[in-house]
Structure 1
Amino acid sequence: MGSRVSVSSADMGDSSCSTQIIDGDGAYNVSGMENFMKTMELSECVSYAIVSIIGPQISGKSTLLNHLFHTKFREMDAFKGRSLTTKGIWLARCVDIEPCSIIMDLEGSDGRGHGEDDTSFGKQSALFAFAVSDIVLINMWCHDIGCEHAANRPLLRTVFQVIMRLFSPHKTTLLFIIRDKTKTPIENLEHILREDIQKIWDSVQKPCEHINTPLSEFFNVEVVALSSFEEKEEQFKEEVAKLRKRFFHSIAPGGLAGDRRGVIPTSGFSFNAQQIWNVIKENNDIDLLAHKMRAMIATVRCDEIANEKILSFLNNEEWRHLKEAIQNGIVPDFSKKLSSILENCLISYDKEAVYFDDSVRTSKRRQLESKLLQFIQPVRDSMISHLEYEAVEDFKVRFDKALKNGEGFSAATKNCFQSVMFAFGEACEGFEQAIRNSLRVKEYAKSVVESKEKEEADLTHMKDR
């Protein structure tokens, strides 16, 4: 896997700068992605949306993204020739749009730069975009609408066929961007385009469980037409500014991606993206099985969160003070203090893991609690030992006092034992081993009584002599 960081700006403090996460050779930039997530503070985002763009090389994808999202992806310089600009896959964070929107710029899908006949990278990157994105912009020329061999047509056929093999697909919005619109009414263009998309959907081979599944189950289809950037720049900018407004609150009900499903929490996005790319790149029967992916991501992240909580627990000042104090004797309100520290730790885990797979999250929570109890147990044992010692000493004092006050041997034993055991039980409330230790206290008390009986018997014997 690639590990170098490619950044379009030296200043990573600029939230609009871009990072290459997959290079032109298909190597995934692990450190680059992690640095992007950290620098852009994405893990702190409560919600987010992924927007990507696919389409032919030199069709103005980067230019559109930069105007639409105020990003700084590298654009073609017309004065330097129409050469390949975007290589691989790049990410940038959108400026001033909520929710937090991560924008993905992809190398052209028509294979230029990878050989005239090599479109495999284009297919791989398109599959990646569809697998991780909430909204996919499909950039296409107006004159390509209705053409059998238009650049996006075979690509969509491949994507549709593979996406249907997802076990639990997340709903993706396909926003077709018609570039360099003509005088043909947008309604006519949209009608032709929707018919074409439906024909592609109907023609692809479907797995048994999706033989009759409609396109709308997997995708929302939206269509927008834009004027030529080169010939009508001001009109283009006005239309793009209007389109930009649709990305505000895009994941809210009624938004562009308002009915998306299978959302991966922000903290799991980097790992999820890497695993999906590995599967696509290695071509391991590209059956992404979304439920398994979510479970795998949940396992990794919940483990990480649990380990963080264990470290936090061990470094907790209240816990360390409690451990030190217990060495010297009984700690007032010990059980309440310990329960509070443990509960706060588990609540913190719940907050961070809330969006991950429920069964995995619950399982890892149980494991976390079990590990925490392993640290707690020796401290609890120390506390109970102190209580145990105090109970036995209390019994001795009570028993001697009762006998000196003329109370009968049997009555003193019974009354003192009941009082001491009641006090011990209250002190041990919340401790699972209280019953076990109460038996030990009973044994100690019994030995005290037997010792006293023997002492009384010896005194009586001596008097008789």
Structure 2
Amino acid sequence: MTECQIIDAQGRFVGALTNDVSDASISSYLVVSVVGCQSGGKSTLLNTAFGTSFPVLDAPKSGRRRTTLGVWGAVAECTPPVVVLDVEGTDSRERGEGAVAFQARTAMLALALSDVVLVNMWAHDVGRHSAANYDLFETVFAHAASLRRRDSPVRLVVVVRDCEPDAPVHDISRVLTGDLRNIWASLKKPDKLFNQLFSLRVLAMPHKKYAPERFSSEVKEMGKSIISSGEQQFRQPVPLTGFDTFSREVWFSICHKTGGDGPDAAFTLDLPRHVALTAHYKCGEVLTGVFNGPVGVRLEELLAEIELNWNKPIPDFGSRIDDIARDAFLQYDTETRAYQGAKLAGDALRQRRRELGAKLVGILMERRERYLWVCREFCRKNFEDEFRPMLGGTNGFERNAKRLGNSFVKRYRHLLVGSRLPSSLDEFILANEAERKKEEIASDGDTTGEESAGIQILDTEQAFQELSDNSDDEGDDDEYSVEAFKKDLFRMVEERRRLGEIMLPGGSNLVAAGPKPEPWWKGLLIRGAILLINYLQATQGQRAALKLQRKHEKEFPPGPTF
């Protein structure tokens, strides 16, 4: 457990409270803060109750002055965890004229974030106004309705310090409760709303100096009771790893929208919006981490392997992209598990998951396009190797060439089917197609006058529904690729056939259509003719070069050499 400053003395947010929290699924924790006048023992109260180590005042050495500057925090090692916030004390001479604004803001931050707010107060200040921080309560109560948006009320625990052993605790509680309710009533807010927003409790603590053992025992018991009585309220709107981000958004909103001038300050703090922003931000971090982690490494390795083995398809391409897609969603769902049960974060969670699927589809489709080029070239090259000995125009050429071409078309189709994107990405593929269809219709409908008035542009949902209804045609692009490949092969066959008919003596009339056997010498004659033509074509260039050289030597005979 490390205590750290969340907000400094100048009001800058510097918090890094949850940097050491490794478990992203922790969403059950309690937030406890303390407010009160400076040098009143607030840090000592927290250290004793929750085992924290906030710095405390040493009055004999340093005098009575501010010890806690801004807001400090720590995650107490309890089960479940407790986030403890130590707020700077009020009524400090160091803060001066800016004290009112800063105190109001920090108090509203504590109220917005905390499940339990401890109000530290001296026994001899009960019944006073400024010393008892009643002006601070006025500011907090004025904005309480807009600050609190939770199902359960925040627990205000007024801790009255240095009480005498025979102090009338009941009377102290009655006076404080009455004063706080009078402050609420002066704001002209209904009592019913007060009970919905706050649960008030008053505790009397013995003197720390004169009864240290009793003080320590009762404060620890108070800490245990706070934790045990809040077991049903541990579920937070954001997980523990998102607490810093949530706190920063709330603090910036408070500083931007309030002047700290008391109940007349115009202020509305939309906590659900900040919860949603926090979820959107943290889920975005998880999304980035998916592609920067092992999933991204495997995608790059797959691309490198495709480019390295460009003349041979990867045998397990389909299973590998299946594993990559499954692991990407598994990592995202695991690291955002804490947000799955939060109503306010659900939209951000689903939106970021859709972004993950869309980005994954884009990357895998780009990898698949390169892989299909490798498959196409591999099948074409192997077809050419096996097709090369076949002679066009001979008996059986058509049948054998067709059988060979169909076998390679079937092989290419098998590679296409084996490399299709995982079914878990179907909805994202359809969404991309729907968006593309919407853009095409919008571009086609970019006209003016009466023509544009008659064009109805489908929205993304309508296009998605149409594509979902026709999901049987999902492989249309692959089938088009197969047909294009088939045409390429049979164009080669047709060219070979025509060439063979030209080369054969008598043209196409020599091609036997029936079962009549051919003479044994006919094949040899054809092969010899083909070899002779190939030889003449190969040596034609050499003969032309030799002829040109001789002509040049004749016109420019070489001179004597020494």
The answer to whether TM tops 0.5 is: yes
- Range with bigger deviation, 211-220 or 99-108: 211-220
Confirm or deny: 8 A CA contact 2:4 2:73 kept in the other structure. Answer: yes
AA aligned opposite 1:385:
W
Cα gap change, 1:164/1:450 in structure 2, threshold over 3 Å: closer, same or farther? same
Q: 1:386 aligns to what?
A: 374
Report how far residue 242 of structure 1 moved: 1.8
- Range with bigger deviation, 331-340 or 256-265: 256-265
Report how far residue 227 of structure 1 moved: 0.7
Q: Which has the higher helix share?
A: 2
Cα gap change, 1:157/1:384 in structure 2, threshold over 3 Å: closer, same or farther? same
Q: 1:367 aligns to what?
A: 355
Counterpart pick for 1:236 among 195, 215, 218: 215
Report how far residue 422 of structure 1 moved: 5.8
Report how far residue 229 of structure 1 moved: 1.0
Cα gap change, 1:320/1:24 in structure 2, threshold over 3 Å: closer, same or farther? closer
User: How high is the TM-score relative to the length of structure 1?
Assistant: 0.79
Separation in 1 of the partners of 2:51 and 2:221?
Answer: 14
Separation in 1 of the partners of 2:396 and 2:173?
Answer: 103
Separation in 2 of the partners of 1:117 and 1:304?
Answer: 37
Separation in 2 of the partners of 1:281 and 1:422?
Answer: 63
AA aligned opposite 1:27:
R
Q: 1:322 aligns to what?
A: 302
Cα gap change, 1:219/1:273 in structure 2, threshold over 3 Å: closer, same or farther? same
Q: 1:64 aligns to what?
A: 45
After TM superposition, the structure 1 = structure 2 runs for residues 13-162 of structure 1, keeping only pairs within 5 Å, are 15=1, 18-28=3-13, 30=14, 33-34=15-16, 36-38=17-19, 40-41=20-21, 46-47=26-27, 48-80=29-61, 83-93=64-74, 95-115=76-96, 118-147=99-128, 151-162=132-143
Cα gap change, 1:393/1:132 in structure 2, threshold over 3 Å: closer, same or farther? same
Report how far residue 277 of structure 1 moved: 2.3
Separation in 1 of the partners of 2:353 and 2:25?
Answer: 23
User: How high is the TM-score relative to the length of structure 2?
Assistant: 0.67
Q: 1:444 aligns to what?
A: 485
SS in 2 for 1:165: helix
AA aligned opposite 1:194:
T
Separation in 1 of the partners of 2:162 and 2:325?
Answer: 62
Cα gap change, 1:21/1:454 in structure 2, threshold over 3 Å: closer, same or farther? closer
Report how far residue 147 of structure 1 moved: 4.8
Confirm or deny: 8 A CA contact 1:54 1:136 kept in the other structure. Answer: yes
Identity of aligned residues (%): 25
- Range with bigger deviation, 331-340 or 304-313: 304-313
Separation in 2 of the partners of 1:413 and 1:330?
Answer: 20
Cα gap change, 1:279/1:420 in structure 2, threshold over 3 Å: closer, same or farther? closer
Q: 2:507 aligns to what?
A: 462
Confirm or deny: 8 A CA contact 1:134 1:257 kept in the other structure. Answer: no
1:343 corresponds to 2:334: no
Confirm or deny: 8 A CA contact 1:71 1:92 kept in the other structure. Answer: no
Separation in 1 of the partners of 2:291 and 2:68?
Answer: 42
Cα deviations by residue, 1:442-461 (Å, 9 ceiling, x for unpaired): 23323433553565566397
Cα gap change, 1:385/1:133 in structure 2, threshold over 3 Å: closer, same or farther? same
Q: 2:247 aligns to what?
A: 273
Report how far residue 164 of structure 1 moved: 0.9
1:427 corresponds to 2:403: no
Separation in 1 of the partners of 2:236 and 2:31?
Answer: 13
Cα deviations by residue, 1:304-351 (Å, 9 ceiling, x for unpaired): 2222222115652x4344223323121122112112112212221222
Q: 2:201 aligns to what?
A: 222
Cα gap change, 1:212/1:87 in structure 2, threshold over 3 Å: closer, same or farther? closer
Confirm or deny: 8 A CA contact 2:25 2:335 kept in the other structure. Answer: no
Separation in 2 of the partners of 1:371 and 1:358?
Answer: 20
Cα deviations by residue, 1:271-315 (Å, 9 ceiling, x for unpaired): 222232233334444322112212222232222222222211565
- Structure 2, gaps ≥5 residues long: 259-265, 340-344, 423-428, 430-473, 511-562
AA aligned opposite 1:281:
C
Cα gap change, 1:178/1:42 in structure 2, threshold over 3 Å: closer, same or farther? farther
Report how far residue 82 of structure 1 moved: 5.2
Confirm or deny: 8 A CA contact 1:391 1:441 kept in the other structure. Answer: no
Confirm or deny: 8 A CA contact 1:175 1:223 kept in the other structure. Answer: yes
Q: 1:7 aligns to what?
A: none
**Which protein is bigger by CA-based radius of gyration?**
2
After TM superposition, the structure 1 = structure 2 runs for residues 182-193 of structure 1, keeping only pairs within 5 Å, are 182=164, 183-193=166-176
Separation in 2 of the partners of 1:223 and 1:362?
Answer: 44
Confirm or deny: 8 A CA contact 1:93 1:102 kept in the other structure. Answer: yes
1:177 corresponds to 2:156: no
Cα gap change, 1:415/1:271 in structure 2, threshold over 3 Å: closer, same or farther? closer
Report how far residue 365 of structure 1 moved: 2.1
